[in-house]
Amino acid sequence: MKKRIPITTLFVDIGGVLLTNGWDHHERRRAAKHFKLNWADMQDRHELNFETHEQDKISFREYLDRVVFWQKRSFTRAEFRQFMFAQSIPYTEMIELVRNLKAKYGLKIAVVSNEARELNAYRIRQFRLAGFVDAFISSCFVHLRKPDADIFRLAVNGGRKVRRGS
């Protein structure tokens, strides 16, 4: 008979699981329309900068400078930030499911996500995710992005780096 290995940890994402996606093409397209930006230009600039931004190698201000505010705009950074962050909406049923699974089975909850630092911090704080999540393995904290296997190795090994093949 096979030995049963108990499940101790539930790994989830923030975007698309606990909340809507943070800043994907749908949110960016809405921002472009709302602020009357050229979508193709904004998208091209985003594509050049988002991986670096999500790995916390450039700041939120630098990202906005490169993607939106490379020229004078009729709106402020604060207005754009507010719009951008307002795109985050909780999936309340999923949050409750994860909370209930944690309570019922004593599971650890680990979030593995690709998000930029300022947006990630806002989402964790705004939706009180730290109230039930035990660990956040976010690209902005670990400087790795999914699907890089190393981010999953970090998550599985409690945040400790391990050599490949270990």
Chain segment 8-17, per-residue pLDDT in tens: 899 999 999 9
- Identify any residues that bridge with 111 across adjacent strands, giving them in sequence order: 12, 136
User: Among the CATH numbers 1.20.1250.20, 2.60.40.1840, 3.30.1360.70, 1.10.150.240, which is that of 25-86?
Assistant: 1.10.150.240
Residue 151: per-residue pLDDT: 80
Helix (H, G, I), strand (E, B) or coil at 143: coil
Spatial separation of the C-alpha atoms in residues 11 and 108, rounded to whole Å: 9
Q: Which amino acid is at 95?
A: I
- CATH code for the domain defined by 9-20+89-156: 3.40.50.1000
Please tell me the predicted confidence (pLDDT) of residue 166: 46
Length of the chain: 166
Tell me where in the chain the CATH 3.40.50.1000 domain(s) lie. 9-20+89-156
- Asked if 13 contacts 115 with a C-beta cutoff of 8 angstroms, the reply is no
Residue appearing with tokens 């930029």: 116
pLDDT (tens, 9 = 90+) of the chain, 166 residues, equals 788 888 889 999 999 999 999 899 999 999 999 999 999 999 999 999 999 999 999 999 999 999 999 999 999 999 999 999 999 999 999 999 999 999 999 999 999 999 999 999 999 999 999 999 999 999 999 888 888 888 888 888 765 555 555 4
User: How far apart (Å, rounded) are the C-alpha atoms in residues 111 and 95?
Assistant: 12
Region for residue 143 given its phi and psi (left: phi exceeds 0; alpha: psi -120 to 50; beta: otherwise): left
